[in-house]
Structure 1
Amino acid sequence: MEEKTIFEIIHNMDKVTNNLIIKWNKMFNEDLGISHILVLSHLEKKGNSRPSDIAKALGLTPPTLTHLSEKLVHKGLAVRIVDETDRRIIYLGITEKGSEIVVKAHRDGEMLRRNLFETLTEEERLQMLKIFEKLNGQT
């Protein structure tokens, strides 16, 4: 019985996450996926970065990051920067337009999550908070 309950929790967590991603993709309407936003967010926080470092930090393969960065550069959301001391090293940097997209993506995501959690009562939200804190090892 316990194993079935754990499976049901995992299955329902995945369904909630997948539904949020689907709704976000429809709402965001920028021809970009969440992986693109994760790359831009990384650049926003860490500054110019080597693609291999970004791939490692985000758990992506280098070919995947190459594909994502091609689209970001093509759309003017990121730029390639050649290292002046070693021209073999190329960094990826975020543009102002890329920063604006990150803000919009986060705002849209926050609105979706707020709408999701507003369907719960205050008591249910407090219970979820305690559960997530426990799972994150913060209690």
Structure 2
Amino acid sequence: MEEQTIFEIIHNMDKVTNNLIIQWGKLFNEDLGISHILVLAHLQHHGNSRPSDIAKALGLTPPTLTHLSEKLVQKQLAVRIVDEKDRRIIYLGITDKGLDIVQKANQDGQILRRNLFEKLTEEERQQLLKIYEKLTGFL
């Protein structure tokens, strides 16, 4: 495969991803980024978690997670919880308001995906799925 073709593929993947992020931001309209929603979704699925564990699971740096969690706490979407046995350990937990935001983000994401993927035929969607599954196996 020619190198230029690889870069064209990567460039087009980036364009699609960036466009999805922009469209989702317009649809969601909550002054939160995708990384904020990923943190909340992690808390929803895994319960109270140490920030360092969340950062590792999501591939974020600890300072980035600190910045994200600050906004989530400020907006009352998450809370900091001190470990009763070791007060040096702090967990992040999701609030009911945070759960509602994750649900709204998922609903808006489904609308966006539906609008995007209905432009493809069923055969094209299946091909795309197989390609992504194959590529995921190499990562």
- Stretches of structure 1 that go unaligned for 5 or more consecutive residues are none
Letter in 2 for 1:16: V
Corresponding position of 1:92 = 92
1:98-118 per-residue CA deviation (whole Å, 9 max, x = no partner) reads: 011001111111211111111
TM-score normalised to the size of structure 1?
0.93
One-letter amino acid of the structure 1 residue matched with residue 81 of structure 2: I
TM-aligned CA deviation for residue 38 of structure 1: 0.7
Matches of 1:71 and 1:3 in 2, distance apart?
A: 41
1:113-128 alignment, distance < 5 Å? 113-128=113-128
Whole-Å separation in 2 of the counterparts to 1:11 and 1:107 = 28
Q: Work out the CA distance in 2 between the residues paired with 1:133 and 1:32.
A: 29
Instruction: Specify the alignment match of 1:78 in structure 2.
Output: 78
Shift of 1:7: 1.3
Normalising by structure 2, we get a TM-score of: 0.93
- Corresponding residue of 2:104: 104
| d(CA) in 2 for partners of 1:53, 1:128 | 32
Report the Cα distance in structure 1 between the residues aligned to 2:136 and 2:108, rounded to whole angstroms. 25
C-alpha distance in 2, partners of 1:46/1:99? 13
Using the TM superposition, give the Cα deviation of residue 137 of structure 1 relative to its aligned residue in structure 2, in angstroms. Answer: 3.1
* Structure 2 residue aligned with 1:46: 46
Q: Report deviation, 1:4.
A: 1.6
What stretches of structure 2 of length at least 5 have no aligned partner? none
% identical equivalent positions: 82
Tell me, in whole angstroms, the C-alpha distance in 2 between the residues paired with 1:134 and 1:55. 26
For 1:65 and 1:133, the matched residues in 2 are separated by: 29
Deviations 1:50-86 (A, max 9, x none): 1111111111111111111111011110001010001
Displaced runs of 4+ in structure 1, greater than 2 A? none
Aligned mates of 1:23, 1:34 — CA distance in 2: 12
